[in-house]
Amino acid sequence: VSAAVGDLERLVAIEEIKQLKARYFRTLDDHDWDAYVAAFTEDAVMDLTEEMARHAGAAVDAGTDPVSKGRQAIRRFIAGALDGSVSVHEGHMPIIEITGPDTARGTWSLHDWVSFPDSQFHGYGHYHEEYRKVDGKWLISFMSISRIRIAWETGSPAATA
Amino acid sequence: VSAAVGDLERLVAIEEIKQLKARYFRTLDDHDWDAYVAAFTEDAVMDLTEEMARHAGAAVDAGTDPVSKGRQAIRRFIAGALDGSVSVHEGHMPIIEITGPDTARGTWSLHDWVSFPDSQFHGYGHYHEEYRKVDGKWLISFMSISRIRIAWETGSPAATA
Amino acid sequence: VSAAVGDLERLVAIEEIKQLKARYFRTLDDHDWDAYVAAFTEDAVMDLTEEMARHAGAAVDAGTDPVSKGRQAIRRFIAGALDGSVSVHEGHMPIIEITGPDTARGTWSLHDWVSFPDSQFHGYGHYHEEYRKVDGKWLISFMSISRIRIAWETGSPAATA
């Protein structure tokens, strides 16, 4: 794609970004917020405006700013949304484009299943992301989510061992 | 696999085919049929004989030919099957084999969740595909689907935001 | 990661291990146990101690040793657990690390949906694996599973075509 990046360097970067996003998912569902925010650049922006509109009144207080700037704001938002839940997030079929030696963008298909004490949902959509290489490590510098559908169920979730 | 294709060229082709199939899925669930058929060669064949037998009487008229030849026939078939639905399709765990400089074949694990106004199903199975490189771009030249299971539910789907 | 393995060789190994695990899943859900055990080294160890604790009293007799050593023990365990079921297993978001010319380790996110005659479950968790290259072919030499959640449903599963 970029004339400045050779095929091998490009494939190495794509695999590193896939593993970065895989660690993002592991730490997200472990609710290990220190490790989670380490996947982002210090100045990363997480824009969940569409996400908030879909989940209105659910997990996150209606007054919360849907755009988080920087690791601490991202941590606060995600911990507020997921603490107390059992969560499963999966990312599929990445399209990652290396746009320069230290920049990339990508999309992932998302499936998430999140259970709160008295409700749960299955959601489907896409991540839209930008990446930056900082000190030799790829990190997420921008993230937003669009949704195909979210199916909520109220009442106790199925018995879970 | 093929002595005529080196390791780097092979890995580049595999990644390009993964991204081709990812675009296939995005455009499929966007119901963007112009972009969808652009993932196929002009003379592509889509053989959904087993698929039709499984879905008999459901989405597609019983008289429809399960083998579509060419982009326009593929478009007509898929639009007939999915217009009016909310669809989620996911492809997993590709095994892509580069069989020559311009030819490849592959399989993908499939999970789809399709909701019609009064019923929905979760399906699992596999894509069996062939690819051809045309003017420097990999495209799907053959596609069929085999199924492990399809679970239908009638009645209104769960509330969806 | 390892200074002894170049970038191209590392990417080739990672792709080969992804395809190895894809074949693992195909043969697992085909219940084709000869092909299934061929994905393991002769001396492979499959440690399902945590898995057994989660499924206690379900698919596998309580007295079964949760640690299987060697292909025949692995085959006996898996056939005992899955014969008579309809199973779907998916592996997502691999993090594969090549630790030497003939050794690697990796994790995969797992989603499985298994239906027995009078009950079924959806499970989520992770594979923790080691790989070894034997006669030029990557194989699984160690496998264990940790779980995020398992949701059982009793009664007849949804109608399945």
pLDDT at residue A51, rounded to an integer:
84
- 8 A C-beta contact, residue C23 and residue C105: no
- 8 A C-beta contact, residue A93 and residue A108: yes
| Whether pLDDT at B91 is above 80 | yes
Residues of C in contact with A113 (CB under 8 A): 124
pLDDT at residue C60, rounded to an integer:
62
pLDDT digits (tens, 9 = 90+) for B74-89: 999 999 999 999 999 9
Q: What is the pairing mode between strands B40-47 and B137-154?
A: parallel
User: Would the CB atoms of A22 and C124 count as touching at under 8 Å?
Assistant: no
Question: In this predicted model, which residue has the larger pLDDT, B58 or B36?
Answer: B36
Mean pLDDT score of chain A: 90
Question: Confidence band (pLDDT; 50, 70, 90) for C159?
Answer: very low
pLDDT at residue C56, rounded to an integer:
52
Structure tokens, B41:
């060669």
The strands making up A137-154's β-sheet, listed across from edge to edge, are A67-69, A40-47, A137-154, A119-134, A103-116, A86-100
Residues of B in contact with C12 (CB under 8 A): 7, 11
Residue A134: its H or E element: strand A119-134
Q: Which residues are within 8 A (CB) of A32 and not within 5 positions of it... i.e. 6 or more apart? A: none
| Whether pLDDT at C20 is above 80 | yes
Question: Which 3-state string (H, E, C) describes chain B?
Answer: CCCCCCHHHHHHHHHHHHHHHHHHHHHHHCCCHHHHHCCEEEEEEEECHHHHHHCCCCCCCCCCCCEEECHHHHHHHHHHHHCCCEEEEEEEEEEEEEEECCEEEEEEEEEEEEEECCEEEEEEEEEEEEEEEECCEEEEEEEEEEEEEEEEEECCCCCEC
Residues of C in contact with A8 (CB under 8 A): 7-8, 11
d(CA B98, CA B103): 6
pLDDT at residue A18, rounded to an integer:
98
What is the percent of chain C with per-residue pLDDT over 90, rounded to a whole number? 73
User: Would the CB atoms of C149 and A160 count as touching at under 8 Å?
Assistant: yes
Measured CB to CB, residues of chain B less than 8 Å from chain A are 8, 11-12, 15, 18-19, 21-23, 25-26, 29, 86, 88, 90-92, 113, 115, 157-161
pLDDT digits (tens, 9 = 90+) for A85-119: 999 999 999 999 999 999 999 999 999 999 999 88
Question: Confidence band (pLDDT; 50, 70, 90) for A64?
Answer: confident
- 8 A C-beta contact, residue A148 and residue A124: yes
Find the mean pLDDT for residues B86-96: 97
User: Would the CB atoms of B109 and C157 count as touching at under 8 Å?
Assistant: no
Structure tokens, B14:
């595999």
Question: In this predicted model, which residue has the larger pLDDT, B119 or B32?
Answer: B32
Helix (H, G, I), strand (E, B) or coil at C16: helix
pLDDT at residue C140, rounded to an integer:
98
pLDDT at residue C152, rounded to an integer:
85
Q: How many CB atoms lie within 10 A of CB B20?
A: 18
Tell me the CA distances in angstroms from A35 to A20, A26, B160, one per residue in order.
11, 9, 32
Find the mean pLDDT for residues C5-11: 95
User: Would the CB atoms of C94 and A22 count as touching at under 8 Å?
Assistant: yes
User: Would the CB atoms of C93 and A29 count as touching at under 8 Å?
Assistant: no
pLDDT digits (tens, 9 = 90+) for A9-49: 999 999 999 999 999 999 999 999 999 999 999 999 999 99
d(CA A64, CA B58): 44
Distance from the Cα of B54 to chain C's closest Cα (Å) equals 6
How far, in whole angstroms, is CA C54 from its chain's centroid? Answer: 16
* Chain A residue with minimum CA distance to B18: A93
Question: Confidence band (pLDDT; 50, 70, 90) for A61?
Answer: low
d(CA C146, CA C51): 7
The strands making up B137-154's β-sheet, listed across from edge to edge, are B67-69, B40-47, B137-154, B119-134, B103-116, B86-100
ipTM confidence score:
0.91
Mean pLDDT score of chain B: 90
d(CA A116, CA A82): 9
Find the mean pLDDT for residues B119-131: 94
Find the mean pLDDT for residues C89-104: 97
Which of these ranges, A17-21, B42-46, B55-59, has the smallest mean pLDDT?
Answer: B55-59
User: Would the CB atoms of C109 and A15 count as touching at under 8 Å?
Assistant: no
d(CA A12, CA C10): 9
pLDDT digits (tens, 9 = 90+) for C22-51: 999 999 999 999 999 999 999 999 999 988
* Chain A residue with minimum CA distance to B87: A148
Residues of B in contact with C29 (CB under 8 A): 148
